[in-house]
Amino acid sequence: MSRGVKGVNAYITIHVRLFRTRGSAKNFECIECGGPAHEWSYDGGDPDERSGRPGYTSPALYSTSMDYYSPRCRHCHRMRDPNHWRTRTHCKYGHEYTEENTHWNSDGTRKCLACLERRAARRKAARIAARAAA
């Protein structure tokens, strides 16, 4: 894992690393349409995904692990880029983003409340278990 890289630097670092390790995405075919790829694009699904990237006002999600990147052409990248997460109707665990189930953060990102509750319940259970064990 690439702990230690932070913020916008992490976004640049992972793209530099992709380029150095796998070469230019232009040498590959777009995994969506089979056309010539243009760039490495984040697949989504990293449990430790980060947000925010330089030069963009809207939050963009990215991963600091190369495992979550695939070559895509510009068109498919745009269609698929987690920048377009706003068009998603469900969180990655399949909960629907209804008005009641959506928590908006001050930075414009959103969270699935069902997932937040699930995580809070898990933390609480862990605390109780830790107390019981102490």
| CB-nearer residue toward Zn ion: 10 or 30 | 30
Name the minimum Å distance from CB 28 to Zn ion. Answer: 11
Helices and strands of the chain, counted as H and E runs = 3, 6
Name the minimum Å distance from CB 127 to Zn ion. Answer: 22
Name the minimum Å distance from CB 71 to Zn ion. Answer: 9
| CB-nearer residue toward Zn ion: 17 or 95 | 95
Binding site for Zn ion (CB under 5 A): 30, 32-33, 35, 73, 76, 91, 93, 95, 112, 114-115
